Amino acid sequence: MLVLVGRGLRGGISGLPAGPAGRSGSVAGPDDDIRDGITGRTSAGAYSGRYVANAPVVQETRGFSMRSFRRLGVCAGVLVMTMGVALQARAVDVRAPARYAGLDGCLCAPWRLWGRGDDVVDLTDARVFSSRGRRAPLALSPNGGHVTYFQLDGGALVVRKVASDAVRAVPGVIWSSAMRATRIELSPRGRYVVLSAGGEHRILDTHSGTGLTVPSGLRPWSFSPDAEFVLLVDDTFQARVYSMSPFAERGRAPLGGALGPGGETVAHFTERDAGIGLWSVASGAPLKSTPVTVPYGRTATRLRWNARGDLELQTVVSRRARKGGGSRYTWYGVDRETGGTERVGGFVVPGSVHHPIVAGLSP
């Protein structure tokens, strides 16, 4: 059991997309602490054994005291092993979300997921190309916690959880030549996958495989953080909010954007992406008279709501404008009350990465 859990932490992830997360997540600090904890467990066990063996009291009283110490040693060993199992089990489920996915250095390379620090995972089971140099579909959930792709063997469409490396197939969806031009997107929590081809968009439940066809003239743009609601846009980028169960229209917004918790708020960019507007779906009116200002000198690329219900803004400095090459992405937390922004994270996608897919940028 210990060996299996340990492999799940260190080796089991090698066959996945990074996790991404395959788009993959790296936990530079917490993960290192946990691994040190596992090493400490082994050291503690060895130290405990040496301590009992070298204890003068034990050498002088070999009767009841020795048996007591032996029992104590056994209990301590069981406790340490139990704590070790729990610690390793936690470690399996602490991998951070993937920041981006891509092909590293070579178009023939497998899909790779990058997380924080040097945490990288190759998705060796993922199909890379569909035909004639066109990349096969692969998508990250908005926060990089899940990745979806078609497997090479068997062609199943799978959803992989980055944190735990758990993989499940979407029932009834298998790779075929008809899938070559298909675009896929993944909702928060990996709950739904969107399959788009030829102007038709289908939303599938990744657990049951059941799905629905989006009304003609509309396309999915964003989901609420709990994936209970979806925002659809038309050709003029006007938006409608639908509940997923039952699938029914709940309201509208003048512009598409990031759908907030409960499908109640739409965060959208203003003209020329200079600011962020907030729209109440229920009242059909703006929540703020003055838009939130995008940080000076930054190019806004995406808005998203995290699992806590906080709004986040992503900006980018392209490789052409940045020394050293690559593109730098930065996330800012948005204070909806004050209109302020605060940097909460960032990373660079090197210029050597082909077909980069950045979490939070799809669609």
Average pLDDT, the chain: 76
Residue 305 pLDDT > 90 = yes
Least confident window among 57-61, 66-70, 224-228: 57-61
Using alpha carbons only, give the angle 181, 186, 187 rounded to the nearest 5 degrees.
145
Nearest to 144 by CA among 180, 168, 119: 119
Contact 360, 144 (CB under 8 A): yes
- In this prediction, residue 319 carries a pLDDT of 62
pLDDT at 361: 63
The pLDDT tens digits of the residues spanning 65-77 come to 444 444 545 444 4
Determine the average pLDDT of the residues in 81-93. Answer: 40
Name which residue leads in pLDDT, 3 or 243.
Answer: 243
Question: In this model, does residue 269 exceed pLDDT 90?
Answer: yes
Write the pLDDT tens digit of every residue in 108-160.
778 999 998 778 888 999 998 877 667 889 999 999 999 999 999 999 999 99
* pLDDT at position 289 over 80: yes
- Specify the higher pLDDT residue, 30 or 341: 341
Comparing 40 with 176, the larger pLDDT belongs to 176
More confident residue, 250 or 19: 250
On the CB side of 296, CA atoms within 13 Å amount to 0
The SS3 assignment for 352 reads coil
Residue 279 CA to residue 82 CA, distance in Å, equals 51
> Which one-letter DSSP state was computed for residue 202?
E
- The Cα 259–Cα 305 span in angstroms is 7
CB contact at 8 A, 281 and 240:
no
Residue 51 pLDDT exceeds 80 = no
Q: What is the band of 106 on the pLDDT scale with cuts at 50, 70, 90?
A: confident
Name the band, by pLDDT with cuts 50, 70 and 90, for residue 161: very high
Per-residue b or e along 52-88, where b marks 16 or more CB atoms closer than 10 Å to that residue's CB: eeeeeebeeeeeeebeebeeebeebeeebeeebeebb
**pTM attached to this predicted model:** 0.72
Find how far residue 87's CA is from the centre of its chain.
22
pLDDT higher at 258 or 181 = 258
Reported confidence tier of residue 251, pLDDT bands at 50, 70, 90 = very high
CB atoms within 10 A of CB 2: 12
